[in-house]
Amino acid sequence: MTPFTGRAFEWFLMDSFIPEEHHADTSDKVHEGPGWVGPSPRSHPPHGGEPVMSILKTGTGTTLVRVGASAALALATLVAVGTSSQAGVSALTSSTTIGPPAGTNTITLTIPAPTVAANNKFTTGTLTTIPEGVQFQYNATPSAAGSTCTTNPATNAAVAASAGVVTAVTVRYLSSTKISVVVPDLSAGAANTFMVCVYNANGNSGTISSSATVLAKGSYNTSTPPGTPTILPISGPALGGQAVTITSSALPTSITTATPLTATLGGTPLLNIVAVDANHFTAVTPAHVASTAQAVVVTTAGGSKSGGTYAFKNGIVISPDTVVSGASADIDIQGVGFLGASMTFTPSDEGVTSAAHAVDGTHAGTNSTHAHVYLVAGTYNGASFAVGANKTNGQLSECANVAVISDTELICTMDTAQTYVAASGAYTWTTASVVDGTYTVTIVNDGEVPAPAYQTVISSGSTLTVAAF
């Protein structure tokens, strides 16, 4: 009979209860040393019937006793646990069962609480002494009920990678039922389906002892990382809300926990992602501060890939977009960045005459260094603003009494009964009405901006029509 060599069960320590005749009569023992020690067929209890105890002797000399059970039945149970069927091996639950071929991602491995059938638990230790080793072994059907881990894990990771067997070198103890492991590089071979095998011997050196016993097993797959993405269209409003199509490769055709798909644009998550096929998905752009050359980053179970460029164009949306000539109206403006550090609106500067330019940074009124909402005939351009010179194409009027509601919304009052008259760098607020026509509403973060360093935080393609009703 083959002695039991599996992981010991938690039996009662009963040396003191073994009858003297059994201590004395060693000739009746079936096996000496590590393994089974119990009454032989010739040995009977004093009063007949079933033996009152079953005795198991471990390799360390500890005698384990199970009371009130048949020795033959107990032996059969123990030997079954240690066989190649791995019936006593615990089932692993992984925090994720799929990852990039190159590894480096950390996953957690959890086993159920110990039972009589699978009395396994993890034991604490340092990285070099933790008594658990984890090996990733290629298996065509790792999730199948009959799939087993090798009983001889003594394989060096560097040599075995191409054969689909890799030992993890960073395993950490978290609890008696949970450990973490840094997934090793699994890209050397063509395999992408693996058994995750936990042994009762440290493997952080890259090798697990050949005598190690399997404690738990599970499955793990690798997935091809996505290809370099591109995005169409390549620009849109900073306010977001634009539908885009991302082209890549090795994309999931459905989005699930096992086959995730996420993406960011300029570091901000894309919205409403919908998988189309293995090479495309659609999404909606988020709101983003106006900027150019923002990258798309696509992430799947196989990893992340960056590429493509997208421009968040300065833009605002205004409502209403028509104002009666010679009257005033409150305007609601939506955009992005109204609470930015450089966006300081000052009511005392809005709709106020600005004297001729003398020294940079000293202007008050409509040309102050604060933020302004201008009404412009065409595209605003303050480049030529200098001593004695007007802006190339400056403000015709101004939306005053600005109230910032949020980073994406503000309101102001547009008075079309007044305009600025520019002369030699001075902008005088007059009672001349804005002429009927279509104008551009432009928000700037600095009304002075010496040439040629002008940059708007938000410029606008939004138009406001002034007309008689």
Does the pTM surpass 0.75? The reply is no
d(CA 184, CA 171): 11
pLDDT given for residue 154 in this prediction? 78
Confirm or reject CATH 2.60.40.10 for domain 230-313, answering yes or no.
yes
* Residue 260 φ/ψ, nearest 5 degrees: -75, 155
**In terms of C-beta density within 10 A (0-12 exposed, 13-18 middle, 19 or more buried), how is residue 456 classed?**
middle
From the centroid of its chain, how far is CA 68? 54
Residue 15: count of CB within 10 angstroms of its CB: 11
d(CA 241, CA 293): 18
d(CA 237, CA 337): 13
Give the DSSP H or E segment for 76: helix 71-81
Residues 6+ apart with CB under 8 A from 341: none
DSSP state of 75: H
* Residue 21 φ/ψ, nearest 5 degrees: -60, -25
- Report how far apart, in Å, the C-alpha atoms of 256 and of each of 222, 229, 264, 270 are: 16, 21, 18, 17
Cα angle, residue 319 at apex, residues 317 and 320 outer, rounded to 5°: 140
* Residue 355 φ/ψ, nearest 5 degrees: -70, 170
- Report how far apart, in Å, the C-alpha atoms of 334 and of each of 66, 93, 260, 406, 452 are: 78, 48, 33, 9, 28
Lookup: tokens for 314:
């300065």
The CATH classification of domain 90-222, taken from the options 3.30.70, 2.40.128, 2.30.30, 2.60.40? 2.60.40
Lay out the sheet containing 317-319: strands in order across. Answer: 317-319, 328-334, 409-415, 397-406, 372-376, 437-444, 463-467, 322-324
What residue segments make up the domains of the chain, in order of their start?
A: 12-81, 90-222, 230-313, 317-467
With CA atoms as reference, report the closest residue to 81 among 153, 178, 8: 8
Q: Mind listing the pLDDT tens digit of every residue in the chain (469 residues)?
A: 444 443 333 333 333 334 444 444 444 433 333 334 444 443 444 444 444 443 333 343 333 333 333 333 332 332 223 334 566 889 999 998 888 888 899 999 999 998 877 788 898 887 778 888 999 998 888 888 788 898 888 765 555 666 778 889 899 999 999 999 999 998 876 668 899 999 998 888 888 888 899 999 999 988 888 999 999 999 888 888 899 999 999 999 999 887 899 999 999 999 999 999 999 999 999 988 777 889 999 999 888 899 989 988 877 888 888 888 889 999 999 887 888 777 889 989 988 988 876 666 677 888 888 889 999 988 888 877 777 888 889 999 999 999 999 988 999 999 999 999 999 888 999 999 999 998 888 888 888 764 333 233 344 456 777 766 5
Domains 90-222 and 230-313 share a fold: yes
Lookup: tokens for 395:
């403000």
Residue 452: count of CB within 10 angstroms of its CB: 8
Cβ–Cβ < 8 Å for 29, 18? no
Buried b (16+ CB within 10 A) or exposed e, 351-381: bbebeebeeeeebbbbbbbbbbbbbbbeebe
Strand ranges inside 187-226, DSSP E: 193-199, 214-222
| Helix ranges restricted to H, 97-253 | 157-160
